[in-house]
Amino acid sequence: MSESNPTESNEALQREVAGLIVTALNLDLSPEDIQPDAPLYGEGLGLDSIDILEVALVVSKQFGFSLRADSADNTRIFSSLAELTRHIAANRTK
The per-residue pLDDT for range 69-84, each reduced to its tens digit, is 788 899 999 999 999 9
Q: Which residue intervals of the chain are DSSP H helices?
A: 6-25, 49-63, 74-77, 81-91
Nearest-5° Cα angle at 58, 54 to 17: 105
- Tally of domains in the chain: 1
The CATH number for 41's domain is: 1.10.1200.10
Domain extent for 73? 6-91
pTM of the model: 0.87
Instruction: Judge whether 31 lies within some domain.
Output: yes
Instruction: Judge whether 1 lies within some domain.
Output: no
Instruction: Judge whether 47 lies within some domain.
Output: yes
The per-residue pLDDT for range 25-78, each reduced to its tens digit, is 999 999 999 999 999 988 889 999 899 999 999 999 999 999 887 888 999 999
Instruction: Judge whether 62 lies within some domain.
Output: yes
Residue 1, pLDDT score: 43
The DSSP symbol for 58 reads: H
Instruction: Judge whether 61 lies within some domain.
Output: yes
CB within 8 A of 16, min separation 6: which ones?
Answer: none
Q: How far apart are the C-alpha atoms of 88 and 13, rounded to whole Å?
A: 9
